[in-house]
């Protein structure tokens, strides 16, 4: 995640919360996609984790990136925890275990996202190499135990880390050891949001399977293809999941607001101070009767920050976030962007994608979501193997991208970025299964080669 929102305007009513979401609507011609991805830094000499401090730590990485990019610092209690581009809108931030995240600026094409990603990785390679630090892209840290994983100095994460064990068994693993890629989508209005949210939720397990890339934990196979996705099933039921209510009649901004109001708070930020109110109700803050902060009223920033602490498979803010993919190679990060541009930003493709899931019930989708971390593309829904759904979804996206006809300087359209997913879908073999074969074969039961082979 990037910077917290800062807006001290008081929210007067639930209607204000609904209006804030609705204000995110954009005309189709202004639609963009922003891609976020996380990656783990490690010391190339010994494959060890990188702590925050020290001459060759995470802070030094951020300082080096700041010097090269000229971006503005983001600080928390005097600690440098991120950077943001005041011109382009992108940001670099830290996840709890030191995962480096690029929150890309909204872009009009996959070509633009590719240029942004290339520039970011070139910067991080230059800075990292000077410090003896590399980066790898897996959905779950493959070797370091939770105790070995560094902790970043971010106030909100301290609050979350105290709260997580109270509401689930894997919340700390989620925070400190997982890594994802995410695509953020625009919507035109409420009706468009509902269609895209439903299609996103229906296809999210398929996307999780296509991008499954986390078969190792603590130096061994963990029995899953996307252990990252499995961890989310045991993190916090109040703020995760498939949002079954989104498929019910009457879905809209109001229904999502009511859902979000019932998700417990983590914190309330006043000035630079994060007040730990974990487990409290946003409704109480809205009404000025939050026990921990008597008389404080909810602000726009409170609402925006609260929405960022809700973690369903597809999240609604002033845009939609597709949150179900393990991070992987740069080619697969761009493939996620291409898949979303193709499926969601062409009206015929969006209609075809909606038809793919016709007849699936909320129960069907929940069973699929529960099966996919272990079975990947071999899971089934509606009597069909998921790999067939994946092939159809990727083909629909190809058609949408071809009709968009957004070309780069060489005259190529965006369909070229779908190649990694077309290969995975054709073979029916997830990235995780490739790693498992390597582990059981030439790696001879060691995960250490993955640091090199999954380098990003």
Q: What CATH number corresponds to the domain at position 365?
A: 3.30.590.20
| H or E element, residue 340 | helix 330-344
The candidate with the shortest Cα–Cα distance to 345, out of 113, 29, 23, is 29
Look at residue 173 in the predicted model and tell me its pLDDT: 98
DSSP secondary structure code for residue 416 in this structure = G
d(Cα 197, Cα 185) in Å, to the nearest integer? 10
d(Cα 140, Cα 142) in Å, to the nearest integer? 6
No. of helices (H) and no. of strands (E), the chain: 17, 17
Report the Cα 29 to chain-centroid distance in Å: 25
| H or E element, residue 335 | helix 330-344
Instruction: Write out the E strands in 286-362.
Output: 311-312, 314-316, 320-326
Q: Is 181 helix (H, G, I), strand (E, B) or coil?
A: strand
Look at residue 78 in the predicted model and tell me its pLDDT: 96
248, with CB counted inside 10 A (0-12, 13-18, 19+), is exposed
Look at residue 1 in the predicted model and tell me its pLDDT: 44
Cα separations in angstroms, 223 against 205, 228, 299: 18, 12, 44
Look at residue 321 in the predicted model and tell me its pLDDT: 98
DSSP secondary structure code for residue 328 in this structure = -
Residue 8 lies in a domain: no
Q: Are 376 and 209 in contact (CB under 8 A)?
A: yes
Look at residue 5 in the predicted model and tell me its pLDDT: 56
Angle between helices 386-404 and 347-356 (to 10 degrees): 170
Residue 23 lies in a domain: yes
Number of domains comprising the chain: 1
Cα separations in angstroms, 221 against 8, 140, 226, 275: 48, 11, 11, 40
Residue 390 lies in a domain: yes
Residue 389 lies in a domain: yes
What pTM value is reported for the model?
0.97
Look at residue 7 in the predicted model and tell me its pLDDT: 79
The candidate with the shortest Cα–Cα distance to 175, out of 187, 165, 184, 183, is 165
Phi, psi of 262 (to 5 degrees): -90, -5
Low-confidence ranges of the chain (pLDDT < 50): 1-3
d(Cα 279, Cα 297) in Å, to the nearest integer? 17
Look at residue 2 in the predicted model and tell me its pLDDT: 47
Strands 220-221 and 79-84: unpaired
d(Cα 231, Cα 168) in Å, to the nearest integer? 10
Q: Which residue has the tokens 């990252």?
A: 228
Phi, psi of 103 (to 5 degrees): -100, 95
Residue 150 lies in a domain: yes
Residue 167 lies in a domain: yes
Domain membership of residue 122 as a residue range: 14-453
d(Cα 360, Cα 450) in Å, to the nearest integer? 37
**Token digits of residue 77:** 């209690």
Residue 3 lies in a domain: no
- Summarised one tens digit per residue, pLDDT across range 247-259 is 999 999 999 999 9
DSSP secondary structure code for residue 252 in this structure = S
Residue 168 lies in a domain: yes
């Amino acid at each position: 995640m990037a910077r917290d929102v800062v807006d001290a305007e008081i929210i007067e009513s639930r209607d204000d919360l609904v209006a804030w979401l609705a204000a995110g609507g954009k005309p189709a011609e202004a639609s963009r996609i922003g891609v976020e991805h996380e990656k783990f830094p490690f010391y190339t000499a010994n494959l060890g984790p990188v702590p925050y401090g020290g001459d060759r730590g995470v802070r030094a990485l951020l300082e080096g990136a700041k010097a090269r990019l000229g971006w503005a610092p983001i600080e928390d209690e005097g600690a440098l925890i991120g950077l943001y581009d005041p011109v382009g809108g992108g940001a670099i931030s830290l996840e709890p275990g030191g995962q480096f995240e690029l929150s890309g600026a909204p872009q009009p094409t996959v070509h633009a996202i590719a240029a942004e990603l290339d520039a970011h990785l070139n910067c991080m390679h230059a800075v990292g190499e000077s410090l003896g630090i590399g980066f790898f892209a897996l959905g779950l840290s493959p070797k370091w135990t939770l105790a070995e994983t560094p902790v970043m100095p971010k106030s909100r994460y301290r609050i979350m880390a105290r709260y997580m064990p109270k509401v689930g068994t894997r919340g700390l693993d989620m925070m400190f050891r997982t890594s994802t890629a995410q695509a953020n989508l625009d919507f035109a209005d409420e009706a468009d949001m509902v269609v895209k949210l439903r299609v996103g939720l229906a296809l999210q397990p398929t996307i999780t399977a296509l991008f499954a890339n986390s078969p190792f934990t603590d130096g061994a196979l963990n029995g899953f293809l996307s252990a990252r996705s499995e961890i989310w099933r045991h993190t916090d039921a109040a703020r995760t999941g498939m949002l079954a209510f989104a498929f019910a009649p009457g879905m809209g901004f109001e229904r999502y607001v009511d859902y979000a109001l019932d998700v417990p708070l983590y914190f309330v930020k006043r000035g630079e101070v994060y007040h730990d109110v974990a487990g409290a109700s946003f409704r109480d803050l809205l009404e000025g009767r939050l026990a921990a902060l008597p008389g404080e009223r909810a602000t726009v920033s409170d609402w925006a920050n609260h929405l960022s602490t809700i973690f369903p498979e597809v999240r609604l803010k002033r845009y939609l976030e597709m949150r179900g993919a393990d991070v992987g190679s740069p080619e697969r990060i761009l493939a996620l962007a291409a898949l979303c541009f193709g499926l969601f930003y062409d009206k015929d493709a969006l209609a075809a994608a909606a038809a793919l899931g016709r007849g699936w019930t909320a129960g069907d989708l929940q069973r699929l979501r529960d099966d996919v971390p272990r079975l990947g593309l071999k899971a089934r829904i509606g009597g069909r193997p998921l790999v067939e759904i994946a092939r159809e979804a990727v083909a629909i996206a190809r058609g949408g991208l071809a009709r968009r006809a957004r070309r780069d300087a060489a005259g190529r359209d965006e369909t070229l970025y779908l190649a990694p997913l077309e290969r995975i879908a054709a073979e029916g073999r997830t990235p995780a299964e490739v790693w498992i074969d390597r582990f059981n074969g030439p790696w001879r039961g060691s995960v250490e080669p993955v640091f090199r082979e999954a380098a990003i």
